[in-house]
Amino acid sequence: MKPRRFDYVRPDTVAEAIALLAEHGEEAKVLAGGQSLMAMLNLRLLEPAVLIDIARLTELDTIKITGDKVEVGAAVIQNRLKDWPELAAKLPLLAKALPYVGHFQTRNKGTVCGSVAHADPSSEIPLTLATLGGEVVLRSRRGTRTVAAAEFQRGMLTTAREGDELITTVRFPVQSGSRVAFREVARRHGDFAIIAVAASVESASTKGAEVVRVGIGGVADRPAVRRIVIDGPGAAKSAFEALAWELEGYDDIHASARLRRDLLRRVGPAVVEEALQCAA
Amino acid sequence: MRRVNKDERARIAFTLNGRAVSGDAEPRMLLTDFLRHVIGATGTHVGCEHGVCGCCTVLIDGAAVRSCLTLAVQAEGRSITTVESLAAADGTLNVLQKAFQQHHALQCGFCTPGILMSFTDYLARNPHPTEDEIREILSGHLCRCTGYAGPIAAVLAASGGMPNTTQERINEESRSQP
């Protein structure tokens, strides 16, 4: 289908974009890569009065290391971050997750921040951001605020962004270790994940126990992040058994809640094991 | 600041296959429709119109993207490359197209322009891909008649990875089955 009519505006600066958002608020939608938004417009699931195109804002097209964070601007496309030479060293978990994001052809246009803004519960980038304890930077005429990823994503396609705010940057904390794993189950590579599991080993082994931070996508209405203490065989299995019931899962055309729980019980411990097996 | 109001038609200009083109479009017009209906370049096909099938894949500044998830107005000033650019002016097919022909990588041809454009971008980045890498790129396309063995063989052949024919490949696969 074709989108309904809208006004198209392409500001030349971030300041102009923010002024437009202040003027139009909830009536406007921000267009960056458009890999979710354009599909929703074509299907007429959304009918904004105004589209504000930020894809060409060079101020937002930057990947920067500032202290212990990697800052990714709102115009950075997913394939650019995937091919960033520092990625595997600074953000090994994200390096494992990004190849699962959509297809090569959609990563050529889709943005990192756009994926966070869209907040699909099965989406890999918001899952990784939440698992690593990252944050989202929002700017409006009222000022700039930073929201932890865990508080940013509120539910199915719902975030803490106010109508007049622009996501300018997301910040991923640089990882100290590289013992990570990421896996998802989908009908076909590049399709929406039925479930996705991310794992990052937090600390070196002490007294035989290890702490693993796990992120689970596609089961609840937003990424679920937990710390699991692995203090013996069967620890991961029982942790995911409990998590499967806690997160419940949901039914949609791709899978039933029951299948999601079952997949989580099988895939979760395997992903934790893979992370633990990584060389430190 | 560029602004086009919803009832306006704006003059959109960009480079198509090395040639300057322009036409008028409402803001909501998709690049697919602009190429086909305004410019008359009908090589780019329209399938699902929500980014799933990959038929409409074109290059924007060299990168393979879905033209159905792109507004015509977003293409302003860009360089667009479509399937019409691949063959020589006299109709001689390029290496990739020839390989598709030789390996029976198409029957109805509806999805083919998009697949060719994806691999035009990908082979420029990775001239000698593995079969797994080819499968991953091909996962961004849906083919409803030929299947994927032919296109995989064609891309391998075009990239020098596997000069043998699809039939030889099928024979090899059937031999390796337990």
- The minimum CA-CA distance between A2 and chain B, rounded to whole Å, is 8
User: What pLDDT sits at residue A115?
Assistant: 98
Contact A3 B69 (CB under 8 A): no
User: Structural domains in chain A?
Assistant: 7-53 (3.30.43.10), 58-173 (3.30.465.10), 180-277 (3.30.390.50)
Q: Are B80 and B108 within one domain?
A: no
**In Å, how far are A32, A104, A132, A208, A267 from A109, measured between CA atoms?**
8, 9, 24, 45, 30
User: What pLDDT sits at residue A136?
Assistant: 98
Q: Are B123 and B168 within one domain?
A: yes
Domains identified in chain B, total number = 2
- Coil vs helix vs strand at B111: coil
Given a cut of 90, whether residue B166 has pLDDT beyond it is no
- Binned at pLDDT 50, 70 and 90, residue A208 comes out as confident
* Interchain contact B5–A (C-beta under 8 A): yes
CATH of the domain at B70: 3.10.20.30
- Binned at pLDDT 50, 70 and 90, residue B169 comes out as low
Q: Confirm if A96 and A180 have CB atoms less than 8 A apart.
A: yes
Given a cut of 60, whether residue B163 has pLDDT beyond it is no
Q: Are B80 and B27 within one domain?
A: yes
CATH of the domain at B168: 1.10.150.120
- Binned at pLDDT 50, 70 and 90, residue B174 comes out as low
Q: Are B99 and B172 within one domain?
A: yes
Within 10 angstroms of residue B164's Cβ, the number of other Cβ atoms is 13
Domain stop point among B85, B113, B133? B85
Average pLDDT estimate for A58-80: 98
Query: Is B73 a domain residue?
Result: yes
Domain stop point among B67, B85, B103? B85
pLDDT, one tens digit per residue, over A85-144 is: 999 999 999 999 999 999 999 999 999 999 999 999 999 999 999 999 999 999 999 999
Instruction: Sort out which chain A residues have CB atoms less than 8 A from B28's CB and list them.
Output: 2-6, 41
Name the residue range of residue B122's domain: 95-176
User: What pLDDT sits at residue B165?
Assistant: 52
- Coil vs helix vs strand at B124: helix
Q: Are B101 and B147 within one domain?
A: yes
Contact A109 B63 (CB under 8 A): yes
Q: What's the mean pLDDT when you consider all of chain B?
A: 93
Q: Are B79 and B123 within one domain?
A: no
Contact A12 B121 (CB under 8 A): no
Q: Are B99 and B68 within one domain?
A: no
Instruction: Sort out which chain B residues have CB atoms less than 8 A from A51's CB and list them.
Output: 27, 71
* Mutant choice from B59, B65, B78 vs A, greatest count of A C-beta within 10 A: B65
Q: What is the DSSP letter of B110?
A: S
Residue A5 corresponds to which tokens in the numbers above?
A: 């009519």
Contact B70 A109 (CB under 8 A): yes
* Interchain contact B38–A (C-beta under 8 A): no
pLDDT, one tens digit per residue, over A9-52 is: 999 999 999 999 999 999 999 999 999 999 999 999 999 999 99
What percentage of chain A has pLDDT greater than the value 90?
A: 91
Q: Are B107 and B66 within one domain?
A: no
Contact A5 B74 (CB under 8 A): no
Average pLDDT estimate for A224-250: 94
Given a cut of 90, whether residue B172 has pLDDT beyond it is no
Comparing alpha-carbon positions, the chain B residue that sits nearest to A57 is: B1
Domain stop point among B85, B114, B138? B85
Q: Are B26 and B75 within one domain?
A: yes
Buried b (16+ CB within 10 A) or exposed e, B68-92: bbbbbbbbbebebbbbebbeeeeee
